[in-house]
Amino acid sequence: MRRKGRISGLLIGTACLTLGLGGCGASYDTTSPRSAREHAASDAKHATPAAAKPNVLKEKDGGKTGPVDCAVAKCVALTFDAGPSGNTPRLLKILKREKAHATFFMLGRKHIERHPDLVRRIADEGHELANHTWSHKILTKTDSDEVRTEITRVQSAVKKLTGRTPLLMRPPQGRTDERVSKICRELGVAQVLWSVTAKDYQTNDSALIQKRVLEQTKRDGIILLHDIYKGTVPAVPGILAKLKEDGYTVVTVSQLMAPATPEPGQVYRP
**Which residues are designated catalytic?**
81, 226
Reference 90, options 98, 166, 62; nearest CA is 98
In whole angstroms, how far apart are CA 169 and each of 31, 135, 173, 254, 265?
Answer: 15, 13, 12, 12, 9
Reference 257, options 240, 269, 245, 241; nearest CA is 269
Instruction: Measure CA 179 to chain center.
Output: 21
Q: What is the CA radius of gyration of the chain?
A: 18
- How far apart CA 72 and CA 159 sit, in angstroms, is 33
Give the orientation angle of helix 206-216 with respect to helix 232-245, to 10 degrees: 40
- How far apart CA 235 and CA 92 sit, in angstroms, is 13
- How far apart CA 141 and CA 147 sit, in angstroms, is 9
What is residue 265's DSSP assignment?
Answer: T
For 25, residues 6+ apart whose C-beta sits below 8 A from its C-beta are: 12
Burial 36-73 (b: 16+ CB within 10 A, else e): bbebbbeebeeeeeeeeeeebbebeeeeeeeebbbeeb
- How far apart CA 71 and CA 65 sit, in angstroms, is 18
